[in-house]
Every structure is written in C-alpha cells, then in structure tokens.
C-alpha cells in the first residue's frame, strides 16, 4: 500500500483532533511500528508537516493549523480518466463550447505535467465510460428538470421505470442519484452502478421539496467500515476492487472494506469472485437474497408450465 494513503489517513486524524501516533497508524494499516514511524518522519522531514508530539495525549498535532499536505501526484489510471474527460470536452460543440475546450486544454496540460513527476498514489476510483455517460445524462436532466427512463438491475432483478432526478450524491465509493417516480415525498437513492440504460425524455417535472434533499447528505452515517474476506480469481494489482478498498491481501484472499451492506450485496451479485469467507452474517444475507431469487424463479416456472 502506498505510504501516501497512510499519510492522508494520519493527516485526517490530526485534523479531527484525535492525536494519532505510530501505534494507531500501525494498527490501522497492519504494518510495523517501525514502518509507521518512518511514515511520520517522512511527513515531518519531506512534507514539512509541523508535527508536535503532545505527551499528555500520547499523540501528534499540528503546531500550525493552516498547514496543508503538498500536492500529491496521480497514478496512471487517474491520468487516463483525465485524458478521457479531456477527450470528451475537446469534442464538445454545444453551448459554451469555448469554455469547455479551455478546460480540456488544462486537463491535458495537467496530465502531461504529472507524467514527469514522482508517482505517489492517491485514492483510485473506477471510471467506467458507461457510468460517465449516465452521470452526464442525469446531470443534464437535473439541470433541466426533465424525467429520465431507466433500465435498472439489482439483487431483486431487472426493472424499467420513469424517474424524476433531483441530485447526484457520492457516498462510500459509490455514486447515487436521488429522485422519485410519482410522489416527491417518496424520494430514494439509486446507484449508477445498477443502471443498464438511461434515456432523457422530453417530459419535465416540477418539485418544490428541495428542503428534503438536505437529509440525504447525512443519510449514510460515517462509521468504521465492515470488512469482508473474499477469494478472488486472481490477486488484484491495485488497492481497490471495483471501487471498494482492499485493506489487505494474501494470495487470492482479499480483505475488502465496505459501508453500505445493501450496496455491497448488490455488488457481489454482479461481480466475479470465488468464495465469500467472512463475515458470517454477510454470507447469511447473501444466501437469503439468492434463495429469494431462486424461489421467485421457481414460482414463475410453475406458473409458465401450468
């Protein structure tokens, strides 16, 4: 794992007033205390972090609260994402195209500069071209208050419906769109990852319940992530498994963090993996969901036969 990921975590703990130390860092990332102390020394010496050890709290804080970590460089995958966006912006020939193309030029310059720098890894997010396209369609629909027709798939099966999109939201490495089908008071969030097809319609809608949207900002409380041990077909070469952070790996067995149980179950239904080793409660929920699908298919088969 990149030490910059650990340093980011350490920086966040300091800013939260938790006074982290080398023992915390070693325990959180399952490394030795010696390695953790080297990370702290790297922050102080190379990144010029104004670290001060407070004996009373047995941890570190910043002497200068205005300090910010210096610019961190991108991985090759992140550069490819920016190049893709630059390509899309460069070929944009609609409203305000001149401004959009200037953004494309800046993105291209940024990625070229990064190629000449040291490769210190930042968090990586999966950028599927289809999901980028869905994000763009939904963003336009939200701006113009236009309904969209969505073909959607989750652990309950596939369905199609008309949706009134209100807001985009990103939580725990997943993108959601908040909206409703018929009643503005019955808002819910659906994942972009589950969308098979999205089409914007010419039908507009009017919603006067914007105040309800603020609730979604705290809909998913921040808590310590769950960890699932999963045997994959091959060892992952990055620190993420399709958007989910890999805490540790030993051969094909990966310890994967997740927050939203329902979203992670849906991810397991559409992803390739060999064996779910733990936790037991997640195995049980997955089995129950699978049995529910099998029961519905069995009932449908009997109906068709009769």
Mean pLDDT of 125-138: 74
Residue 92: predicted pLDDT: 59
Among 23-27, 66-70, 80-84, 276-280, where is mean pLDDT lowest? 80-84
CB 110 within 8 A of CB 151: no
pLDDT value at 29 more than 90:
no
Residues linked to residue 255 through DSSP beta bridges, in sequence order: 229, 248
Among 132-141, 155-164, 167-176, 177-186, where is mean pLDDT lowest? 167-176
- Burial class of residue 165, CB neighbours in 10 A (0-12, 13-18, 19+): buried
Among 12-16, 86-90, 212-216, where is mean pLDDT lowest? 212-216
Q: How confident is the model at residue 118 (pLDDT cuts 50, 70, 90)?
A: very low
Among 18-32, 109-123, 155-169, 171-185, where is mean pLDDT lowest? 109-123
pLDDT value at 33 more than 70:
yes
Residue 122: predicted pLDDT: 39
Domains 3-62 and 130-218 share a fold: no
pLDDT value at 105 more than 90:
no
Cα angle value 282/283/288 (rounded, 5°): 95
Domain boundaries, the chain: 3-62, 76-115, 130-218, 226-301
Residue 183: predicted pLDDT: 87
If one looks up domain 130-218 in CATH, what number appears? 2.30.30.520
Whole-angstrom distance, CA of residue 10 vs CA of residue 3: 10
Q: What's the chain's average pLDDT?
A: 78
Cα angle value 227/231/234 (rounded, 5°): 125
Q: How confident is the model at residue 218 (pLDDT cuts 50, 70, 90)?
A: very low
If one looks up domain 3-62 in CATH, what number appears? 1.10.10.10
54-65: burial string, b at 16+ Cβ within 10 Å, e else: eeeeebbbeeee
């Amino acid at each position: 794992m990149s030490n910059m990921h650990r340093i980011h975590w350490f920086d966040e703990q300091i800013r939260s007033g938790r006074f982290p130390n080398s023992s915390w860092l070693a325990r959180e990332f399952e490394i030795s205390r010696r390695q953790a102390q080297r990370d702290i020394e790297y922050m102080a010496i190379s990144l010029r972090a104004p670290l001060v050890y407070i004996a009373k709290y047995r941890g570190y804080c910043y002497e200068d609260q205005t300090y910010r970590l210096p610019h961190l460089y991108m991985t090759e995958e992140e550069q490819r994402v920016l190049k893709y966006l630059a390509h899309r912006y460069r070929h944009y020939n609609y409203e305000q195209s001149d401004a959009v193309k200037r953004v494309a030029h800046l993105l291209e310059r940024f990625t070229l500069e990064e190629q000449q720098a040291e490769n210190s890894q930042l968090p990586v997010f999966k950028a599927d071209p289809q999901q980028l396209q869905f994000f763009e369609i939904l963003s336009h629909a939200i701006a113009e208050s236009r309904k969209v027709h969505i073909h959607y798939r989750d652990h309950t099966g596939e369905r199609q419906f008309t949706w009134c999109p209100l807001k985009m939201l990103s939580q725990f490495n997943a993108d959601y769109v908040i909206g409703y089908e018929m009643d503005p008071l019955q808002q819910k969030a659906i994942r972009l990852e589950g969308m098979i097809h999205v089409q914007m319609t010419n039908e507009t809608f009017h919603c006067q319940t914007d105040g309800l949207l603020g609730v979604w900002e705290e809909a998913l409380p921040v808590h310590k992530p769950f960890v699932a041990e999963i045997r994959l077909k091959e060892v992952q070469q990055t620190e993420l498994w399709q958007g989910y952070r890999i805490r540790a790996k030993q051969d094909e067995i990966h310890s994967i963090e997740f927050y939203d149980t329902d979203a992670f179950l849906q991810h397991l239904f559409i992803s390739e993996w060999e064996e779910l080793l733990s936790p037991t409660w997640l195995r049980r929920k997955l089995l129950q969901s699978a049995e529910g699908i099998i029961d519905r298919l069995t009932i449908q088969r009997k109906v068709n036969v009769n």
